[in-house]
Amino acid sequence: MSPDARPPQTAAGHRSSPEPPAFDPAVTPGPSADTGLPFAAAEAVIASASSIGLVCHVNPDPDALGSLLALHNALVQQDRPVTSSFPRPFKLSKGLAWLPGAGEIVHPEHFPETVDVLVTFDAADLERLHEFKHHADHASTLVVIDHHRTNLGFGHVNLVDPDAASSGNVVAALLRHMDVKITPAIATCLYAALAADTGRFSFRADASTLSYAAWLVDCGADSSRVAEEIWGSAPLGALRLLGEVLVRAEFESDISLVSSYVTNMDLVSHGVDRSDTEDYVENLRMAVEAEVACLYRELPDGHVKVSLRGRGRIDLGAMAARHGGGGHHDAAGFTTGSFGHARACVTGSLAPLASPSPSATSPAPGIVRGPCDT
C-alpha cells in the first residue's frame, strides 16, 4: 500500500460515540474473568493500599509497557496513589514513548523506597525487574501480572495466565473485575500489548483474541497509531543497520539456525539507539530455511543479549531457561558474557535437537563470519 493509500490517523481513536461500550459478559467480547485467578484478592489489596507501585520488566516491550500503563491510567482515573517505573536503562524507544500515560512514568531514582502494594507486569521472575527486585522484596504485598508459562508465581497475589495472549489480557480481566471504565487511553495501551504479543495478530490470533481486539477498538483504541508508531516508523540509521545485520546473517543448515549480531560499534557508527534494534530478530525469523532465528546483541558492559525466535518445533523458552533466561515457546532470550559464549550456548543447545539431514554440516557458502565465532 502506498503511504497515500493509508487511512488517515486519528489522535483519539475511531470511536465516534463518547461512551465506551459497557462490559456485558453476555454480549461483549473481551477477556474472560473466569480463569480461576484471584482477581478479587488483587482488587482488594489495590483498593486498600496507601501507596501503589507499578513496574515492568527491563527494556519494556509494548506488552510490558502497555499492560503497566493500562492499570496506571485506570488508577489515575480513580485518583489512587500510584507511581510507575521500569528498570535502567530508563529509555523507551520512540515507538512507545507516545503511549497514553508514558510521560507520567518516573525514573527509578524517584520511585518510592517502599510501597504498600507493588504490581509487576510481564516479568516471569524477579531477575527481570533488575533494581526493582529490592522493592518487590520489601513491598507489603506483591501482585504479579504475567502470562509466561515459566512464571512460578513469585508474588503474594499471582495473576498469571499462561493461556493469555498478552499480559495486557490479564490486566483487562482485572479492570473488568474492578468495574473500571475502559477509556480510549486504556484501550490503546491494551491494544498495543495485544498486537505486539500476537505478532500483530499472526499467532494466538484465534476468534477470542480478534473479538477482544475489536472490542478494544470499539472502546477507542487507536489501532492505526499503534501500527504506525510501533512498527511503521524507524530512524533511517536503524534501517541501514538492519540492512547490515541481514546481509551478515549466517545460516547453519545442520542445526537449522539463522543468526546475526549487533555490536556497540554498530550502534555508534549508525547513530542508533539500542532500543531501536529490539525488533531486528523478527526480520531474521522470516528466513524460511531456518527453524530458529537468533540475534546476538552486545550490551554496554560487553555482555551479550541473545534473542531467539522459532517456528514451533523447539521449545526456546526451556532452552533459554537453561542459560539463565526465559520466555515463551517461540520467543525467548537470555544474557551471557561474550559473543563466543552466547554462540556456544545456542549452537550447543540446538545440536542435539537437530533433525537428521544428509547435507548439513557446514554453513551456507558465502557467509561472512562475525564476532560470534570468537
The C-alpha cell that represents 87 in the structure block:
528498570
Give CA–CA dist 262/66, Å, rounded. Answer: 27
C-beta closer to ligand AMP: residue 130 or 176 = 130
Q: 331-336 and 304-310: which strand pairing?
A: antiparallel
Give CA–CA dist 66/229, Å, rounded. Answer: 14
Question: Using CB under 6 A, which of 67, 166, 307, 336 touches ligand AMP?
Answer: 307
Question: Using CB under 6 A, which of 180, 314, 319, 331 touches ligand AMP?
Answer: 331
C-beta closer to ligand AMP: residue 183 or 209 = 209
Q: Which stretch binds ligand AMP (CB under 6 A): 76-84, 219-227, 319-327, 354-362?
A: 319-327
C-beta closer to ligand AMP: residue 168 or 327 = 327
Q: Which stretch binds ligand AMP (CB under 6 A): 1-9, 34-42, 227-235, 324-332?
A: 324-332
Should residue 60 be labelled a site residue for ligand AMP when binding is judged by CB under 6 A? no
Should residue 327 be labelled a site residue for ligand AMP when binding is judged by CB under 6 A? yes
DSSP state letters, 296-339:
EEE-TTS-EEEEEEE-SSS-HHHHHHTTT-EE-SSEEEEEES-H
CB–CB of 315/334 below 8 Å?
A: no
Q: How far is the CB of 331 from ligand AMP (least distance, A)?
A: 4
User: Which candidate, 107, 146, 158, places its Cα nearest to that of 328?
Assistant: 146
Q: How far is the CB of 298 from ligand AMP (least distance, A)?
A: 14
CB–CB of 52/175 below 8 Å?
A: no
Give CA–CA dist 94/65, Å, rounded. Answer: 13
Angle in degrees, 0-180, between the axes of helices 207-218 and 184-197, rounded to the nearest 10:
150
Question: Using CB under 6 A, which of 124, 189, 241, 350 touches ligand AMP?
Answer: 124
Q: How far is the CB of 55 from Mn ion (least distance, A)?
A: 13
C-beta closer to ligand AMP: residue 93 or 141 = 93
Q: How far is the CB of 307 from ligand AMP (least distance, A)?
A: 3
C-beta closer to ligand AMP: residue 87 or 333 = 333
CB–CB of 257/292 below 8 Å?
A: yes
- Residues in contact with Mn ion by CB under 5 A are 61, 63-64, 122, 167, 197
| Other Cβ atoms closer than 10 A to 111 | 20
Binding site residues, ligand AMP, CB under 6 A: 124, 128, 307, 325-328, 331-335
